[in-house]
Amino acid sequence: MSLLLLHPVKHYLTARPRLLIAVGAGILAYFFLPASFSTLMRLTIAWNVLAWLYLFFLWWLMMRAQEEDIRHIARIQDESASTVLSLVSVTCLVSILVILLELSTVKHLSGTSKVMHLVLTGTTLIGSWALLPTAFAMHYAHLFYRTRAQPELALLFPNDLRKPRYWDFLYFSFTIGVASQTADVAIGSSDVRRIALLQSVLSFIFNLVILGLSINVCAGLLS
């Protein structure tokens, strides 16, 4: 039993140290914040620390990785790819609930305190929204290089691109997040269609919430 428990821990330490560092930083932020802060504010700040730190790690990795690096990352992270993507999706959706609860407290504040809460809410929303397509881009890269030897490629890039880098997957993922379409990149497998459908639905929810919150915040500032 102990060996079964140690295996996933060892795997995450080897394959996803950046995620563990970000989670650890978020937990430390929650417990080291002043006790005078409300639980909701401490959770919001802790989520910001986790999300923005993990975003920094992922983008730093993506900007520097070559094709061989992507293949290696896809291979070592394959075992936990779906689990991590599911966790990121769920926590991003939960962050929406935290944002709604945070905005409900803003109505009773004024001055600098109100501005600080609005800024915190904004950074939470932006961080959560950016984390979602970034995580999906990583997953698309894993699917592409994991199934590359198969007859059908997971994604079909223009000009018959066979060695896409993370920029190409980020382009595909953020196009879905922003415009709810796949632009000039075609989907070549059912697995990617399912993932793209999930991302489209989650992105629609996020964009709808952003629109609604923007109207709500503007109305609150003008009132």
Per-residue pLDDT tens for 77-96?
765 667 778 878 888 878 87
The structural domains of the chain, with segments of one domain joined by +, span 68-222
- What are 147-201's pLDDT values in tens digits? 666 667 788 888 878 888 999 999 999 999 888 888 788 888 888 899 999 889 8
Q: Report which of 41, 133, 140, 123 is spatially closest to residue 89, judged by C-alpha positions.
A: 133
**Whether pLDDT at 4 is above 50:** no
pLDDT at 79: 58
Reading the block at residue 30, the tokens are 């929650």
Q: Retrieve residue 206's tokens.
A: 């996020």
The reported pLDDT for the residue numbered 12 is 56
Residue type at 73? I
DSSP string, the chain: -HHHHHHHHHHHHHH-HHHHHHHHHHHHHHHHS-TTS-HHHHHHHHHHHHHHHHHHHHHHHHHH--HHHHHHHHHHHGGGHHHHHHHHHHHHHHHHHHHHHHHHHHTT--HHHHHHHHHHHHHHHHHHHHHHHHHHHHHHHHHHHHSTTSSS-SEE-GGG-SS--HHHHHHHHHHHHHHSS-TT-EE-SHHHHHHHHHHHHHHHHHHHHHHHHHHHHHHHHH-
Q: pTM here?
A: 0.84
Q: Fill in the amino acid letter for 54.
A: Y
Structure token digits, residue 86: 């599911």
Q: Phi, psi at residue 162, to the nearest 5°?
A: -105, -15
